[in-house]
Amino acid sequence: MIVRVIVGLVLTVVAFAVAGRRLWWLQRLALSGQPAPERIEYARTHAATDLKTQLTEVIGQRKLLKWSVPGAAHAATFWGFLVLMLTILEAYGALFSRTFAIPVIGHWAVVGFIEDLFATGVLAGISTFTVIRLRNDPHKKGRASRFQGSHTRAAWVVLWMIGAVIVTLLVYRGAQQNTGVFPYPDGWAFASWVVARVLRPLGYGVNSVLEAVFILLQLGVVLAFLVIVSYSKHLHIGLAPLNVLFSRRPNGLGPLQLMRSNGKVLDFEEADPDTDTFGIGKVEDLTWKGFLDLGTCTECGRCQSQCPAWATGKPLSPKQVILDLRDHAFAKAPYLLATEDQRVTLAPDILELAQRPLVGTAEENGVIDPDVIWSCTNCGACVEECPVDIEHIDHINGMRRHQVLVESAFPAEATTMLNNLERRGNPWGSPADKRLEWTTELDFEVPVLDETIPEDTEYLFWVGCAGALEDRAKKTTKAVAELLHAAGVKFAVLGPRETCTGDPARRLGNEFVYTMLAQQNIETLNEAGVGKGSGKKVIASCAHCFNTIGREYPQLGGDYEVVHHTELLAKLVEDGKISPVNEADQKVTYHDPCFLGRHNKVFAPPRELIGALPGTAAQEMERSGNRSFCCGAGGARMWLEERTGDRINDTRATEALGTGADVIATACPFCNVMLGDAVNAKQAAGQARPNVEVIDVAQLLVRAVKLREGAAQDAAAGA
Ligand code: SF4
Ligand code: SF4
């Protein structure tokens, strides 16, 4: 007895010492990053939300369960390990007393049953993982495997370790049943009972030995697992709840974060290039929350499997970005954790590594290739999928910010767009008075605001640069205006007083130009008197304007109630103010714009509008809603060349055409252009039916309404 106590305790002390040392090292590494007081403040002041998030995301495994089979396997394993804490307690107790039973629980048969139920659940879970890993072997499936780039060997080791935890558990419990020291009545702990039946012929003596040896083996495996966890991707077992606790709310989608340096929001006028950080130029420019992201990644590859850049053959994998940053942070740790005096004594290879540019080509010995960060469309699919709430977009845009603001290194083709934004307030460089041209093509007057919005006008229609200046988007603008007019909704526009919201600049990484444009627009909107509480609302027909004005301007003091045109139109249809009644005999598939759908969760209104069109059959694409596939325009990609792999818009158009739809409807001018171009190219190549069209939901609606009005006129003429 004394031997097993000593062995058990020695193993425990050694394992806790090794794992504890590693965790201490990890927290020091994380704290070598930038401060992030806003994360602590938010978590501190939102305890109720925090608790709910922990219950749904961590305990409830909400995101994991979206992937039914692997989600169920993970949930079974996770919940199993929570319950099996009891068996670990029992194993420790049995070190000291063979007849140990947990106080309070005692010999309650139900607990024995639950323990075995969850133990078999874990076995089922890891068996499923084994099949999943074999079927997704990256050596065979290459880029199509979500495990491509993951440390698969470590994953196999952990699967075997978990298997060993359960096997040793069942063997010692079976032996305990045969020696009469099992804490629960025979039979209830059904899996242990089966093992006991197998071991019983070996007799009392052998079972006594098996009992002692397998209790120690069980503890040994659990403790070895603890050490392996602290050195592997399975760190997420401990870090995931923390990462979820300090993640952005409601999620890492929607707005980008303001630039911060040393924990404070960066003021461009007062920033000091010597002491302030501008984006992420070195791994230590990440905040501790950024480091926590790196340590929490489970390498599951869900993000990678949903990334449009990865799916179309680009060098970007959101998982690989996180893993590359993590590997670099770990390799650079001796430098990061050393004092200035200690650094000069470090080995030359560490010093060389410390000088590696974070973003740079292979020739420059960069950690992350520039093409990786410029391939991102900011679509948010990675953030949406990540089960541990890692904020990939923030990291990628942090690196873009540094490249643009400090290195002046960004794709050359974006230069014109940025210059146009600075000089003319729109990406095309059009003169401001062109912003009202579309109004001349309507047969009613559109009020243009000189000053404050009139008392009787509820809506300010934010037309957006594309909506005012791009031919296809102008049709949407006119359709929205006609529908509002027909419904008797009073609205006004800003005309030449509007400038670009700054979204393309911000997503490209040029926070300076974004801030300049945003502040100008906020001033204009405030002068127009449409701030929150005024009873006025802003209508946006562009998903990017919708996200920027509604979700990003509040960071700069501009608070407005912003509605997307599909939300307002759906309400007008519901209220009977617009009645699309004519049969159209068409099949429509709807493409969710990322910045309307995934980033802002507006999924239903555009579908309600399509559903209200008589004679129209709606057909969802395979990837829709939260899992929609990007058109390729976001993240300022609209203004960049796409030189590698397949074209994202072409891939999406192929999927849309595959539904057999006559109309590909969308609700964002950028999607309209990207998908329209792809369909046009396919039609020219004879790969798509000539009558397929790409249009905004508002255009579909206005047709139906106009058809109805026409029918009414015909009827009147007939009478
Ligand atoms: S935001 Fe979209 S494009 Fe960018 S890494 Fe994530 S999934 Fe890929
Ligand atoms: S970032 Fe998230 S989704 Fe991607 S591999 Fe890591 S844990 Fe999985």
Identify the pLDDT of residue 625. 96
Peptide bond into 183 cis (omega under 30): no
**Residue identifier of the C-alpha nearest atom 1 of ligand 1:** 378
Q: Does the CB atom of residue 385 touch ligand 2 within 6 A?
A: yes
Q: Does the CB atom of residue 321 touch ligand 2 within 6 A?
A: no
Ligand 2 atom nearest to CA at 323: 6
Peptide bond into 250 cis (omega under 30): yes
Q: Say if pTM beats, i.e. exceeds, 0.75.
A: yes
Query: Of the ligands numbered here, which is closest to the C-alpha atom of 323?
Result: 2
Quick: pLDDT tens for 345-364. Answer: 999 999 999 999 999 999 99
What are the backbone angles phi and psi of residue 245, rounded to the nearest 5°?
-60, -40
Quick: pLDDT tens for 389-422. Answer: 999 999 999 999 999 999 999 999 999 999 999 9
Q: How far is the CA of 193 from the centre of ligand 2 (A)?
A: 39
Ligand 1 atom nearest to CA at 378: 1
Query: Of the ligands numbered here, which is closest to the C-alpha atom of 318?
Result: 1
Identify the pLDDT of residue 714. 43
Q: How far is the CA of 523 from the centre of ligand 2 (A)?
A: 40
Q: Which amino acid is at 158?
A: V
Q: Does the CB atom of residue 207 touch ligand 2 within 6 A?
A: no
- Is pLDDT at 707 greater than 80 in this prediction? no
- Is pLDDT at 3 greater than 90 in this prediction? no
| Beta-carbon count within 10 A of 537 CB | 17
Residue holding tokens 């003021």?
267
Q: Does the CB atom of residue 379 touch ligand 1 within 6 A?
A: yes
Percent of the chain with pLDDT over 90: 89
Structure tokens at 301: 């590859």
- Is pLDDT at 88 greater than 80 in this prediction? yes
Ligand 2 atom nearest to CA at 304: 4
Q: How far is the CA of 232 from the centre of ligand 2 (A)?
A: 14
Q: Does the CB atom of residue 317 touch ligand 1 within 6 A?
A: no
Q: Does residue 538 sit in helix, strand or coil?
A: strand
**Residue identifier of the C-alpha nearest atom 5 of ligand 1:** 318
Quick: pLDDT tens for 254-288. Answer: 999 999 999 999 998 899 988 999 999 999 999 99
How far does CA 555 lie from the centroid of its chain?
21
- Is pLDDT at 710 greater than 60 in this prediction? no
Q: Does the CB atom of residue 376 touch ligand 1 within 6 A?
A: yes
Report the C-alpha dihedral over residues 90, 95, 96, 100, rounded to 10 degrees. 30
- Is pLDDT at 238 greater than 60 in this prediction? yes
- Is pLDDT at 180 greater than 60 in this prediction? yes
Q: How far is the CA of 390 from the centre of ligand 2 (A)?
A: 7
pLDDT band with cut points at 50, 70 and 90 for residue 113: very high
Structure tokens at 325: 């940053």
**Residue identifier of the C-alpha nearest atom 6 of ligand 1:** 382
- Is pLDDT at 173 greater than 70 in this prediction? yes
Q: Report DSSP letters for 43-90, one per residue.
A: HHH-HHHHHHHIIIIIIS-TTGGGSHHHHHHHHHHHHHHHHHHHHHHH
Q: Rounded mean pLDDT of 584-591? A: 94
Q: Rounded mean pLDDT of 129-134? A: 95
- Is pLDDT at 717 greater than 80 in this prediction? no
pLDDT band with cut points at 50, 70 and 90 for residue 711: very low
pLDDT band with cut points at 50, 70 and 90 for residue 712: very low
Identify the pLDDT of residue 701. 96
CB neighbour class for 431 (10 Å; exposed up to 12, middle 13-18, buried from 19): exposed
Task: Give the mean pLDDT of the chain.
Answer: 94
pLDDT band with cut points at 50, 70 and 90 for residue 617: very high
Q: How far is the CA of 56 from the centre of ligand 2 (A)?
A: 18
Quick: pLDDT tens for 654-682. Answer: 999 999 999 999 999 999 999 999 999 99
pLDDT band with cut points at 50, 70 and 90 for residue 719: very low
Percent of the chain with pLDDT over 70: 98
Identify the pLDDT of residue 167. 96
Quick: pLDDT tens for 489-514. Answer: 999 999 999 999 999 999 999 999 99
Ligand 2 atom nearest to CA at 322: 1
Give the single-character DSSP code of 459: E
Quick: pLDDT tens for 619-645. Answer: 999 999 999 999 999 999 999 999 999
- Is pLDDT at 187 greater than 80 in this prediction? yes
CB neighbour class for 685 (10 Å; exposed up to 12, middle 13-18, buried from 19): exposed
CB 590 within 8 A of CB 620: yes
Q: How far is the CA of 608 from the centre of ligand 1 (A)?
A: 28
Q: Does the CB atom of residue 316 touch ligand 1 within 6 A?
A: yes
Ligand 2 atom nearest to CA at 392: 1
